[in-house]
């Protein structure tokens, strides 16, 4: 990663500082409360571990074609970045960060990078077009793969009420009647659908930095300037 590129966490800290200045105390407290609750609950959740082999799940692209995990790992490892939904402000910081700092290196190394959300198309694709992302954005239908990974969470009552008050529907977020989303997660799969790295972020304002992903792939000495 270029030394001129700010870290993902520094980008989130700037957003949080702005929210402290501009959000109402109730809105700010509610946002922080759910994130803190998810962090507290996370150690008790069950999710896949390094070395686990996944079943042959398939994702869906914007044209409706299926993309299987075997397709992604046919020539070697693949990186899957799970995010919440296209309108999520934190996701619109994370995915451009990966586009800037991670995608060029993986492209040079011949390693597929895809972003994954349970949100249905066509709305899901808006995050790709809005940010000119150089990698595919795929749908995880009805959270099937996310459930298998053990990375989902349910909205608490306050978050659900706030979403409904803004006109939100769970179906628009995940295609189901449940207020449920994937926790931001970076998954590295090896051929045979074997998990070689997984990092789950219960607090969606604290996500995996690019150097951590590159280290998991054995590419820690690479940077964007070498990949360009």
More confident of the two residues 156 and 21: 21
Which DSSP category does 116 fall into? Answer: E
Q: Is 46 exposed, middle or buried (0-12, 13-18, 19+ CB in 10 A)?
A: exposed
When pLDDT is averaged across residues 37-48 and rounded to a whole number, the result is: 92
Q: What is the mean pLDDT of the chain?
A: 93
Strands 113-117 and 78-82: parallel
Residue 223 banded pLDDT, cuts 50, 70, 90: low
Distance CA 129, CA 41 (A): 34
Does 96 fall in a domain? Answer: yes
- Whether 3 is in a domain gets the answer no
pLDDT for the residue numbered 224: 54
> Is 169 inside any structural domain?
yes
Query: Total domain count for the chain?
Result: 1
* Angle at 227 (CA atoms; ends 215, 87), nearest 5 degrees: 75
Q: What is the DSSP string of 151-186?
A: -EEEPPHHHHHHHHHTT--HHHHHSSSS-EEEPPEE
Range of the structural domain that residue 97 is part of: 8-227
Average pLDDT over residues 65-72: 98
Which of 210, 143, 212 is CA-nearest to residue 177? Answer: 143
Distance CA 94, CA 210 (A): 10
What per-residue confidence (pLDDT) applies to 228? 42
The answer to whether the CB of 29 falls within 8 A of the CB of 162 is no
Q: Provide the pLDDT for residue 175.
A: 94
Share of the chain above pLDDT 70, in %: 95
Beta bridge partners of 60: 66, 139
* pTM of the full structure: 0.92
C-alpha closest to that of 181 among 100, 87, 104, 95: 87
pLDDT of residue 71 exceeding 90: yes
Whether the per-residue pLDDT at 16 is higher than 50: the answer is: yes
User: 108-166, pLDDT tens digit by residue?
Assistant: 999 999 999 999 999 999 999 999 999 999 999 999 999 999 999 999 888 898 889 98
Strand partners, 10: none
Instruction: Tell me the per-residue pLDDT of 201-220, one tens digit each, with 9 for 90 and over.
Output: 999 999 999 999 999 999 98
Do the beta carbons of residue 128 and residue 156 sit within 8 Å? no
Mean pLDDT of 46-70: 97
Asked if residue 1 is part of any domain, the answer here is no
Is the model's pLDDT at 226 over the cut of 50? no
The pLDDT value recorded for residue 221 is: 80
Is residue 2 one of the residues assigned to a domain?
no
pLDDT of residue 31: 87
For residues 196 and 77, give the distance between their C-alpha atoms in angstroms, rounded to a whole number. 9
> Residue 79: is its pLDDT beyond 50?
yes
pLDDT digits (tens, 9 = 90+) for 172-194: 999 999 999 999 999 999 999 99
Instruction: Check whether 3 has a pLDDT greater than 70.
Output: no
Inside any domain, residue 23: yes
Instruction: Report in angstroms the alpha-carbon separations of 57 from 60, 81, 145, 199.
Output: 10, 16, 7, 19
**CATH number of domain containing 59:** 3.40.30.10
Tell me which residue of 45, 24, 7, 32 sits closest to 159, measured CA to CA: 32
pLDDT value of residue 30:
85
């Amino acid at each position: 990663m270029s030394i001129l590129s700010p870290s993902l966490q520094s980008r989130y800290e700037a957003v949080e500082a702005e929210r402290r200045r501009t959000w109402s105390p109730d809105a700010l407290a509610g946002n922080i409360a759910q994130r803190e609750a998810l962090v507290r609950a996370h150690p008790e959740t069950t999710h896949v571990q390094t070395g686990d082999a996944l079943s042959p799940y398939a994702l869906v692209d914007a044209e409706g074609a299926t993309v299987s995990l075997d397709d992604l790992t046919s020539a070697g490892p693949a990186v899957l970045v799970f995010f919440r939904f296209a309108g999520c402000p934190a996701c619109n910081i994370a995915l451009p960060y990966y586009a800037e700092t991670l995608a060029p290196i993986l492209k040079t190394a011949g390693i597929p990078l895809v972003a994954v959300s349970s949100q249905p198309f066509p709305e899901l694709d808006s995050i790709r077009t809005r940010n000119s992302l150089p990698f595919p954005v795929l749908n995880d239908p009805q959270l099937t793969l996310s459930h298998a990974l053990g990375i989902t969470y349910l909205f608490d009552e306050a978050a659900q009420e706030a979403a409904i008050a803004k006109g939100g529907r769970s179906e628009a977020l995940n295609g189901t009647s449940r207020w449920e989303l994937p926790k931001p997660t970076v998954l590295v799969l090896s051929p045979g659908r074997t998990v070689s790295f997984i990092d789950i972020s219960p607090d969606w304002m604290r996500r995996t930095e690019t150097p951590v992903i590159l280290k998991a792939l054995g590419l820690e000495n690479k940077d964007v300037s070498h990949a360009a």
